[in-house]
Structure 1
Amino acid sequence: MCGIVGLFDTRGKNEIDRQVLWRMNQLQIHRGPDEGELYTEPGVGFGHRRLSIMDVSSGQQPLFNEDGSVVVVFNGEIYNFQELATELAALGHTFRTHCDTEVIVHAWEEWGEYCVDRFRGMFAFGLWDRNQETLFLARDRLGIKPLYYGMLGDGTFIFASELKAVLAHPDFIREMDAHAIEDYFAYGYVPEPKTIFRHALKLSPGHTLKLSPGQSMPRLRQYWDIPFTPHDSISMQEAQEELIVRLRESVKIHLMTEVPLGAFLSGGVDSSAVVAMMANLMGEPVNTCSISFGDPAFNESQYAQKVADRYHTRHAVERVDQDDFELIDKLAFLYDEPFADSSAMPTYRVCELARKRVTVALSGDGGDENLAGYRRYRWHLYEDRMRSMLPLGFRKPLFGLLGSLYPKADWAPKVLRAKSTFEALARDSVEGYFHSVSIMKDKMRQRLFSASFHRSLQGYQAVEVLRMHADKCPVDDALSRVQYLDMKTYLVGDILTKVDRASMAHALEVRVPLLDHKLVEWISGLPVSFKLHGHEGKYVFKKALEPYLPNDVLYRDKMGFSVPLASWFRGPLRQRLNDALMGSVLADTGIFNQAFLKEMLDQHQSGRRDYSAPLWTLLMFESFLRNVLPVEHSGSRKNDLKVA
């Protein structure tokens, strides 16, 4: 795994400032501690930090074609590179290395921008073709690897693996985007393609970018989407058998490495499935690792141990202190923009543990989105059936009134939280799903923000993110639609971002075989009843895995990977939370209604309400403001906020 950076002069061929490029590159040294190189020519500069995984002796970057006219910097793995290299060599291309990076330059020469259609893997790369005067960027289909870009005021185009490298450029203006702030307080992350900054964007998954001298705006092209093309006819038994074949094949290609390899083993279905396949493919015991918590409500280590015992893995378990508060500011620095998934803390620790033994780890991420594993999918289908019985014009006033009258019951089981259900039924399907996944609901965000900030939003609402994706969804059924929405937002913006930053902070490469695009395509075409069968999510997956995993691993309730925020904020983090929410950092932005912040604090700490998720979202935003936003030459933070 690696870190890449680049500068490109769109207005001419001015010399690239190598000192600036070097500083940007060094800020990503954690992504590639083994080697770092720069390449510049008039108008173009590339930098690369390398974590050596394949062709350790000769895979240095930036890497060139035969005559040096094409240069690439690459982050990721292309798992079918050997067969592509054989094909390209037969077409007359000469290879000097045995690494996947060199395949990219020759594939570009042969197939141009459509080379990405041939790649199977996780990747983000930047390529310069001097003869065609073309800068070309690409990101993998699911967004496993990150890629940020922006245009500076002098016409310099800038890109990098992480935002911190972009922020390091002295001419980058750190102005926050009001729409991104609204998105963050709804979702807990800033969804693609926005960033928290007005002048930086993420290249969306499954997209390429082309730019030539004289162009003021790059050309974006989507080269892949989740197809949801139904299989002609497939029985449940056939689906189970083929799923195992395809899963085993995906895991097999993800084992390609020249360095120590292992797997995360949480005790959940997905990571356990990956370990089971690895154990059957590898000629030696699998290195596995997991973390445990003292609180049994958050501890899955006993289930991980069952799988480890069954497959005789070399299993490492480390007890994590749940009062791991030192990570709060560290995480703000790692993620470069506000990020409110509190499971980033245990994720950071399990990556730290894994890196003590391996350089590459396989994970089970993506299974819930692929195979409908989240409980919220079941609730959404239930609510959608209710919506189909009554027109919106009738539902909206009826359930809107019931939702306003019914008391809030944070303490109750979901089935008794009728207030939230009534509020969801008063909305259309997309807005209802948005309501269910929002950290802060519409009414809460209405109270959270100041009057001046509401004016700067100019009517924008975060639900528009889901509406944009829903309009492009290739299927109409309710389950596939919300899976599609999650794979375009939550999977890439939260899950994959969390794992990438936490792992790369320790120079650990994490691979996700459940997100191999060929496997994703095939699963997307399965009947929805194979995925969500009654109350059982991931049904076909669990049935297929019955010969491989214990029933209490397959069919127990999902626990997640969380931390006890509610008790933290009433105990050891009480004063820190008070200082953050009532201090000058948030107040000086002019974004917030300070009276409502005080009300949330008081109600949570008295035990009358559970505001733990919104409060954590605010705490991480305050940490971002202190640790990421300020720069020496900037003025007051009040002046950093503008509408995009």
Structure 2
Amino acid sequence: MCGIAGLFHCGTIKPVDPARVERMCDVLAHRGPDGSGVWTAPGVGLGHRRLSIIDIAGSPQPMHSADERLVLVFNGEIYNFRALRRELEEQGAVFRTDGDTEVILAAWDRWGPDCVRHLDGMFAFALYDRTERTLFLARDRFGVKPLFMAHLSDGSMAFASELKGLLANPLLRREVDPRGIEDYMTWGYVPDGRSILKGVAKLPAGHTLLLHHDAPVPPPERYWDIDFTRRHAGNPRDLEAELLHHLKEAVGSRMVADVPLGAFLSGGVDSSTVVAFMAEHSRQPVRTCSIGFDVAHADETDHARSVARLFETDHAARQVSADQFEAIDTIAGMFDEPFADASALPTWRVCQLARESVTVALSGDGADEAFAGYRRQVFHAHEERLRGLIPQPVRQALLAPLGRVWPKADWAPRPLRAKATLLSLAGSGAQGYASALAVTPEPLRQSLYGEDLAAQIGGYRAETAIVDCMKNAPARSGLDAAQYADLKIWLPGDILTKIDRTSMAVSLEAREPLLDHRLVEFAAGLPEALRVRRAQGKWLLKKAMERYLPDEILYRPKQGFVTPIADWLRGPLAGRARGIANSAMLARTGWFDNTRVAQLAEDHIAGRSDHSRLLWQLVMLDRSLARLGIG
């Protein structure tokens, strides 16, 4: 696990200052404290920071091929590198090291850009071919590892593992993209393909980019996609056995390391599944760690302890309280651009706890997206059945007016909170799901924007990306399309960004076995009834794990890693909630109606409404702008 950065001149060849690449890498030292290196040639510069995991002494970077033709900087792990190495050796390749980095060089030499199709792992890398005078950028299938890119004023393309690597280059413009603000206020993050800054983007997951010195920058090319159109044949028992095989293979392949290894354990289905198979593979007690909260309804540590006892793990736990949010500037610095998932704090704390005893930790991320484990996906599946029974004109004529007048009742029991459901059913499934995903609904966003920001955003609406993604998804049902959008947009933008930045902040490598691409491809082919049955998501996964986990873990109501931010913003963090309306940083931008923000804060503190997620978005935006020096 590492950090990479570099420069490449497109349309011309100019000298590259090694000191400039070195500065871009130095700010990524947390990603790779064990070593560093910079290589430059006319028109190109590559830099690397190393966290040693495999072949600790033998794989320094930038790495050159034996004939000096290829140069590589690589962030990630290739889990099938040994099998690939044997295959390539049979075809004449000779290796000088024992790690996975050199395997990428040999794979490029054998297959060129198609090498990524042979790689099973999490990765972002840059490979320069001195003969072809090309730079090849690649990102793994799900976007576990990040890669930011920016066009600079001197005609070069800069890239780095984090935005701060680009910010270290003095030629980068620090101008906010209004569409990035709309994205952030909708989702709580800025998705792939864009960033909070104009001219800066992320290479999308599952894509590559081939750059030439004498040609303009082409669009990225997709090399992998998830197909939900094929359904597995066979009875549930056979599919259950096949699922267990994939799970065991996925976990086992991610336990290869030359450093201490452990796991995050929340006590939910996903992390408990990973720990169960780690225990099968390991001769020693698995090291596990968990984080709890000082608010009882959000605390899962008792469940985590019960799983730890079941598998006799070496378990450690700590608690997060509201006073730890004084570290908010530190959190903002991890993400650079604004990021409003409040579970970033406890995720960082559990990474800190894990790093005390291990260098690699396995997580349970990815199963909800792949197996339909989110409540919103289950609700969407049921809503789609209703849409199929009622013609769209009838739904639009009857349900839309009713939804508009139905009161918004955050305080009411869930069955009485019908406003969102009525409005969702009135429209298309894609529109309804996009609305369900939004942190801040469009009407509320519009009421907050100042005139200038609203004019700059124009007709752009962030939800359109989800709607278009679902409409164009290789899917047979609305549930398929919703899962596809989650895997393509939500997963890399929120979940994987959170775990990457918080783990790398403490020089910990996090691995996601439940995002093994063969496992996800298998899950995508499951009949819908084996993913969602009645109110249960992840149905087949839970059935398969009944032989390993007790029912109180498998079938208790889904909780997730939910930070009690709503309680804290009414209590110990109420001052933060009130203060955001008077923030000098946000006031200078003129982006928001501060009177409206102040009213929303008071409504939340008084318990009249729940605006915790919106208030937290604004707090994180304020702190991120300060870190970026904007406003």
TM-score by length of 2: 0.98
Mapping for residues 182-197 of structure 1, pairs under 5 Å: 182-197=182-197
The 8 Å contact of residues 581 and 597 in structure 1, kept in 2 or not, is answered as yes
* Length, aligned pairs only: 631
Mapping for residues 91-490 of structure 1, pairs under 5 Å: 91-490=91-490
1:3-24 deviations in whole A, cap 9, x for unaligned?
Answer: 0001011233322112211111
Letter in 2 for 1:495: I
Quote the offset at 1:319 in angstroms. 2.3
1:491-530 deviations in whole A, cap 9, x for unaligned?
Answer: 1100000000000000000000000111111111111110
Where 2:154 maps in the other structure, the secondary structure is coil
1:313-360 deviations in whole A, cap 9, x for unaligned?
Answer: 111112223432122111111101111100001000000000000000
Letter in 2 for 1:221: E
The 8 Å contact of residues 15 and 43 in structure 1, kept in 2 or not, is answered as yes
- Which residue does 1:541 correspond to in 2? 541
Where 2:220 maps in the other structure, the secondary structure is strand
- In structure 2, distance between residues paired with 1:551 and 1:629: 51
- In structure 2, distance between residues paired with 1:398 and 1:514: 42
Quote the offset at 1:303 in angstroms. 1.1
Letter in 2 for 1:226: I
- In structure 2, distance between residues paired with 1:87 and 1:2: 26
- Which residue does 1:614 correspond to in 2? 614
- In structure 2, distance between residues paired with 1:575 and 1:547: 49
The 8 Å contact of residues 450 and 591 in structure 1, kept in 2 or not, is answered as yes
1:565-618 deviations in whole A, cap 9, x for unaligned?
Answer: 222222222223322222221121121122211221221122211111111111
Query: Which has the larger displacement, 69-78 or 175-184?
Result: 175-184
- In structure 1, distance between residues paired with 2:40 and 2:473: 42
- Change over 3 Å in CA distance of 1:62–1:99 after alignment to 2: same
- Which residue does 1:554 correspond to in 2? 554
- In structure 1, distance between residues paired with 2:389 and 2:522: 33
Letter in 2 for 1:390: I
- In structure 2, distance between residues paired with 1:485 and 1:447: 27
- Which residue does 2:604 correspond to in 1? 604
Letter in 2 for 1:395: R
- In structure 2, distance between residues paired with 1:123 and 1:323: 36
Letter in 2 for 1:169: N
Seq. identity, %: 47
The 8 Å contact of residues 267 and 301 in structure 2, kept in 1 or not, is answered as yes
- In structure 2, distance between residues paired with 1:148 and 1:468: 24
- Which residue does 1:75 correspond to in 2? 75
Query: Which has the larger displacement, 26-35 or 231-240?
Result: 231-240
Query: Which has the larger displacement, 326-335 or 53-62?
Result: 326-335
The 8 Å contact of residues 581 and 619 in structure 1, kept in 2 or not, is answered as no
Quote the offset at 1:408 in angstroms. 1.3
- In structure 2, distance between residues paired with 1:55 and 1:326: 39
Letter in 2 for 1:621: L
- Change over 3 Å in CA distance of 1:219–1:456 after alignment to 2: closer
Runs of 5+ unmatched residues, structure 1 = 631-636, 638-644
Quote the offset at 1:107 in angstroms. 0.8
Letter in 1 for 2:126: G
The 8 Å contact of residues 232 and 525 in structure 2, kept in 1 or not, is answered as no
- Change over 3 Å in CA distance of 1:376–1:247 after alignment to 2: same
Query: Which has the larger displacement, 501-510 or 568-577?
Result: 568-577
- In structure 2, distance between residues paired with 1:567 and 1:295: 8
Letter in 2 for 1:470: M
1:276-303 deviations in whole A, cap 9, x for unaligned?
Answer: 0010111111111111223220111111
Where 2:323 maps in the other structure, the secondary structure is coil
The 8 Å contact of residues 232 and 527 in structure 2, kept in 1 or not, is answered as no
The 8 Å contact of residues 381 and 479 in structure 1, kept in 2 or not, is answered as yes
- In structure 2, distance between residues paired with 1:549 and 1:332: 37
Mapping for residues 494-513 of structure 1, pairs under 5 Å: 494-513=494-513
The 8 Å contact of residues 211 and 218 in structure 1, kept in 2 or not, is answered as yes
The 8 Å contact of residues 211 and 219 in structure 1, kept in 2 or not, is answered as no
- Change over 3 Å in CA distance of 1:191–1:219 after alignment to 2: closer
- In structure 2, distance between residues paired with 1:577 and 1:437: 23
The 8 Å contact of residues 265 and 304 in structure 1, kept in 2 or not, is answered as yes
1:26-79 deviations in whole A, cap 9, x for unaligned?
Answer: 100000000011111111100000000000011110001111110000000111
The 8 Å contact of residues 155 and 216 in structure 1, kept in 2 or not, is answered as no
- In structure 2, distance between residues paired with 1:366 and 1:232: 21
The 8 Å contact of residues 7 and 45 in structure 2, kept in 1 or not, is answered as yes
Letter in 2 for 1:162: E
Query: Which has the larger displacement, 453-462 or 110-119?
Result: 453-462
Q: Aligned Cα RMSD in Å?
A: 1.3
Where 1:252 maps in the other structure, the secondary structure is helix
Quote the offset at 1:562 in angstroms. 1.9
Quote the offset at 1:85 in angstroms. 1.2
Quote the offset at 1:232 in angstroms. 4.6
Runs of 5+ unmatched residues, structure 2 = none
The 8 Å contact of residues 230 and 527 in structure 1, kept in 2 or not, is answered as no
Quote the offset at 1:564 in angstroms. 1.9
- In structure 2, distance between residues paired with 1:449 and 1:153: 31
- In structure 2, distance between residues paired with 1:575 and 1:293: 20
- Change over 3 Å in CA distance of 1:393–1:582 after alignment to 2: farther
The 8 Å contact of residues 232 and 526 in structure 2, kept in 1 or not, is answered as no
- In structure 2, distance between residues paired with 1:297 and 1:559: 9
- In structure 2, distance between residues paired with 1:382 and 1:173: 47
- In structure 1, distance between residues paired with 2:213 and 2:157: 10
Where 1:257 maps in the other structure, the secondary structure is coil
- In structure 1, distance between residues paired with 2:283 and 2:383: 49
- In structure 1, distance between residues paired with 2:462 and 2:56: 45
Letter in 2 for 1:86: R
Where 2:36 maps in the other structure, the secondary structure is strand
The 8 Å contact of residues 322 and 563 in structure 1, kept in 2 or not, is answered as no
Where 1:549 maps in the other structure, the secondary structure is coil
The 8 Å contact of residues 271 and 363 in structure 1, kept in 2 or not, is answered as yes
- Which residue does 2:519 correspond to in 1? 519
1:211-265 deviations in whole A, cap 9, x for unaligned?
Answer: 1012222342100001225345121111111111110011111011000000111
Quote the offset at 1:396 in angstroms. 2.6
The 8 Å contact of residues 48 and 61 in structure 2, kept in 1 or not, is answered as yes
- Change over 3 Å in CA distance of 1:344–1:223 after alignment to 2: same
- In structure 2, distance between residues paired with 1:160 and 1:137: 11
The 8 Å contact of residues 69 and 131 in structure 1, kept in 2 or not, is answered as yes
The 8 Å contact of residues 72 and 126 in structure 1, kept in 2 or not, is answered as yes
Quote the offset at 1:397 in angstroms. 4.0
- Which residue does 1:641 correspond to in 2? none
- In structure 2, distance between residues paired with 1:83 and 1:229: 30
- In structure 2, distance between residues paired with 1:179 and 1:498: 21
Query: Which has the larger displacement, 308-317 or 12-21?
Result: 12-21
- In structure 1, distance between residues paired with 2:270 and 2:589: 42
Letter in 1 for 2:337: E
Where 1:204 maps in the other structure, the secondary structure is coil
Where 1:149 maps in the other structure, the secondary structure is strand
- In structure 2, distance between residues paired with 1:518 and 1:377: 22
Letter in 2 for 1:180: G
- Which residue does 2:10 correspond to in 1? 10
- In structure 2, distance between residues paired with 1:206 and 1:564: 34
TM-score by length of 1: 0.96
- Which residue does 2:52 correspond to in 1? 52
Query: Which has the larger displacement, 348-357 or 617-626?
Result: 617-626
- In structure 2, distance between residues paired with 1:219 and 1:463: 23
1:404-450 deviations in whole A, cap 9, x for unaligned?
Answer: 21111101222210111112122211111111111111110110111
Where 1:526 maps in the other structure, the secondary structure is coil
